[in-house]
Structure 1
Amino acid sequence: MKLFPELYIFLFYFFGIVLWHFVKHLAPNLTPPLISSTLLGLHKTPDSALQFITHLDFNRLDTKTKCLAVAVAARSPSPKPALQLLKQTVTRAGGGAGVRDVFGGLGSAREQLGAKSSILFDMLIRVYCELRMGDQAFQCFDLMKEKGIVPKVQTCNDVLSLFLKLNWTEKAWVFYAEMFRMRVKSNVYTFNIMLNLLCKEGKLKKAKEFIGYMESLGGKACWCSIAC
Structure 2
Amino acid sequence: MRRNIRFSGTDLDFVNIAHSHLIHSQWENLHPLSTSLTPFRVKHILLKLKNDDVLSLEFFNWVHNCNPSSHTLQTHSILLHTLANNRKFKTAHSILRRIINVNVASSSNTLFDALLCSYRLCDSSPLVFDAVFKTYANLNKLRDATHTFLRMKEYGFLPTLESCNAFLSSLLQLRRAEVALAFYREMRRDCISPNVYTLNMVICAYCKSGDLPRALETLEKMKDMGLSPTVVSFNALISGYCNKGLLGLALKMKSLMGNYRVSPNVVTFNTLINGFCKEGKLHEAYRVFSEMKVANVAPNTVTYNTLINGYSQIGNCETGMRLFEEMGRNQVKPDILTYNALILGLCKDGKTKKAANLVKELDKDNLVPNASTFSALITGQCVRNNSERAFQIYRSMTSIGYSPNESTFGMLISVFCKNEDFDGAVQVLRDMLDRSMTPDSGILSALYNGLSRCGRKRLALELCSEMEAKRLLPEGFGQEKIAITSPENGTNN
| TM-score normalised by L of structure 1 | 0.86
CA contact (8 A) 1:198 1:206 kept: yes
The answer on 1:30 being equivalent to 2:40 is no
Distance 2:139 2:34 in 1: 29
- Deviations along 1:108-143, one digit per CA (max 9) or x if unpaired, are 23211222x321011111111221111111110000
Counterpart position of 1:165: 173
Counterpart position of 1:99: 108
Counterpart position of 1:174: 182
Which of 122, 134, 138 lines up with 1:126 in the alignment?
134
Runs of 4+ in 1 over 6 A off after TM superposition: none
Quickly say closer, same or farther: Cα 1:6–1:113, change in 2 above 3 A.
closer
Counterpart position of 2:17: 11
Counterpart position of 1:213: 221
* 1:215 shift after superposition: 1.9
User: How many residues end up aligned between the 2 structures?
Assistant: 223
Quickly say closer, same or farther: Cα 1:123–1:25, change in 2 above 3 A.
farther
- Deviations along 1:5-25, one digit per CA (max 9) or x if unpaired, are 754422245685554235455
Range with bigger deviation, 160-169 or 79-88? 79-88
- Deviations along 1:120-177, one digit per CA (max 9) or x if unpaired, are 0111111112211111111100001111111111111111111011111121122112
Q: Give the 5 Å matches for 1:53-72.
A: 53-57=60-64, 60=69, 61-72=71-82
Higher relative contact order (Cα pairs below 8 Å, separated by 6+ residues): 1
% same residue: 25
| TM-score normalised by L of structure 2 | 0.42
3-state SS of 1:82 partner: helix
The answer on 1:49 being equivalent to 2:56 is yes
The answer on 1:142 being equivalent to 2:145 is no
Distance 1:89 1:34 in 2: 20
CA contact (8 A) 1:24 1:56 kept: no
Counterpart position of 2:83: 73
CA contact (8 A) 1:129 1:137 kept: yes
3-state SS of 1:140 partner: helix
Quickly say closer, same or farther: Cα 1:77–1:136, change in 2 above 3 A.
closer
* 1:95 shift after superposition: 3.0
CA contact (8 A) 1:5 1:26 kept: no
Amino acid at match of 2:15: I
Distance 1:147 1:165 in 2: 29
3-state SS of 1:110 partner: coil
Quickly say closer, same or farther: Cα 1:204–1:220, change in 2 above 3 A.
same
CA contact (8 A) 2:178 2:205 kept: no
Structure 1 unmatched runs, 5+? none
- Deviations along 1:43-72, one digit per CA (max 9) or x if unpaired, are 111111111001112864221221112112
Tell me the C-alpha RMSD between the 2 structures.
2.4
CA contact (8 A) 1:63 1:97 kept: no
3-state SS of 2:119 partner: helix
Distance 1:11 1:26 in 2: 10
Distance 1:96 1:14 in 2: 31
* 1:32 shift after superposition: 2.0
3-state SS of 1:88 partner: helix
Quickly say closer, same or farther: Cα 1:27–1:88, change in 2 above 3 A.
farther
CA contact (8 A) 2:19 2:48 kept: yes
* 1:81 shift after superposition: 1.9
Distance 1:48 1:18 in 2: 9
Distance 1:96 1:41 in 2: 24
CA contact (8 A) 1:64 1:102 kept: no
CA contact (8 A) 1:47 1:76 kept: no
Quickly say closer, same or farther: Cα 1:33–1:108, change in 2 above 3 A.
same
Counterpart position of 1:87: 97
Amino acid at match of 1:170: E
Distance 1:31 1:173 in 2: 47
Counterpart position of 1:113: 122
* 1:221 shift after superposition: 2.2
Counterpart position of 2:463: none
Range with bigger deviation, 56-65 or 106-115? 56-65
Amino acid at match of 1:114: D
Distance 1:75 1:218 in 2: 32
Quickly say closer, same or farther: Cα 1:98–1:28, change in 2 above 3 A.
farther
